Amino acid sequence: MTSAVLALGRTEWKLLSRNKAVLLSATLLPLLLGYMLAANVPADAGPAAWSMILGMQVLAVQGFTVYFTTTATLASRREDRYLKRLRSGEVSDAVILGGLLLPVVLLGLVQTAVVVAIATAIGAPVPANPLPLVLAALLGSAMSLVAGAATSGWTASSEQAQITTMPWFLVLIGGSVWVSMSGEITPLTYLVPSGGVMDLTRLAMTGENLLGALPAIGALLAWTAVLAVLSRIWFRWEPRA
């Protein structure tokens, strides 16, 4: 991690903290939703039931904190020509995007740890194998980042991000609800972007063989690759006409 990325990250965090609407969506909303989901779980629920709740909590963080904030941030920085000014310097495109999105990634990972801690305090069992849960957080965040970069190309401002992010957010959360209601993991599960995260969370709670995580990992990598291609096509450095 270069000093330029860290410097851009610090600057971006200051800018992000001044936008109250984005900061609220990126902090309080996922934590509040995570608490509400965990508080309604029956006292006698086992690891399988809790895995579905934790999966939805993790996806809420990735939807609100990572995806929405990435979309709003990139759209806002593009429209005020901040991206254009940064690109006129010596730093590469990768450094610019890395610095701008570093606070979003770190905030998302910290909030994931917080919602898991909240669920554990309320009554959820400790994950039998934390590794799949870590993979769910990392791979899901990567998928949400590139989804946000792609959506930012269709977003004229941070305010408009509340509208343009709605389709993907509904797919993400709706998919998690569908998986939790079905009560089992099938090949069809991986056809929705949230399926991989839900499966990895299940494996973390039940402690099953890690070889079973390969389909979920593959699905998340595939979704990330597709979204990365779309972000290269749709992403804009210049303000929208």
pTM for the predicted model, two decimal places = 0.92
> Over the stretch 47-89, which tens digit does the pLDDT of each residue have?
888 888 899 989 999 998 999 999 999 999 999 999 999 888 8
Calculate mean pLDDT across residues 228-239. Answer: 94
DSSP result, the chain = --HHHHHHHHHHHHHHHH-HHHHHHHTHHHHHHHHHHHHTS-TT--HHHHHHHHHHHHHHHIIIIIIIHHHHHHHHHHHTTHHHHHHTSSS-HHHHHHHHHHHHHHHHHHHHHHHHHHHHHHTPPPPS-HHHHHHHHHHHHHHHHHHHHHHHTT-SSTTTHHHHTHHHHHHHHHHHHHHHHH-S--GGGGGSTTHHHHHHHHHHHHT--GGGGHHHHHHHHHHHHHHHHHHHHH--SSPP-
Domain boundaries along the sequence of the chain: 3-234
21 versus 85: which is more confidently predicted?
Answer: 85
